[in-house]
Amino acid sequence: QQQVKQSPQSLIVQKGGISIINCAYENTAFDYFPWYQQFPGKGPALLIAIRPDVSEKKEGRFTISFNKSAKQFSLHIMDSQPGDSATYFCAASTTGANNLFFGTGTRLTVIP
């Protein structure tokens, strides 16, 4: 079964808008939550990651919000740009096990 559920499947945002992608998990042993960005023909690249001891992490235009009690986390992309058009994957893993469980991906399109 899917250990990390991701929504929406696709997202269209105007340039300058905010893109929001949501993920939920069931396994409370997960303690590392990265987001990956994947362009066509490329492998996923780490964008930003968070651990459950903080509720928010910001790096430039990218912010992760984390809700431990709800077992949910989300990626916010502020001032979205056409160059942000890509597929975004949330993922999760546990300490001592470096294998990542990925969501199903969100295809983001930013319209100029």
Partner 1 sequence: DAGVTQSPTHLIKTRGQQVTLRCSPKSGHDTVSWYQQALGQGPQFIFQYYEEEERQRGNFPDRFSGHQFPNYSSELNVNALLLGDSALYLCASSLNPGAQETQYFGPGTRLLVL
Residue ranges binding partner 1 (CB under 8 A): 4, 6, 32, 34, 36, 41-46, 49, 89, 91, 93, 95-105
- Please identify, using beta-carbon distances, which residue of 4 and 64 lies nearer to partner 1: 4
Query: In sequence order, which residues have a C-beta less than 8 Å from that of residue 2 and are 6 or more positions away?
Result: 103, 104
In angstroms, what is the minimal distance from the CB of 76 to partner 1?
20
Cβ atoms < 10 Å from Cβ of 96: 7
For residue 93, give the nearest of 47, 38, 25 by alpha carbon: 25
**Of 73 and 105, which CB lies nearer to partner 1 in the complex structure?**
105
Minimum CB separation from partner 1 for residue 112, in Å? 25
The distance of closest approach from Cβ of residue 83 to partner 1 in the complex, given in angstroms and rounded to an integer, is 19
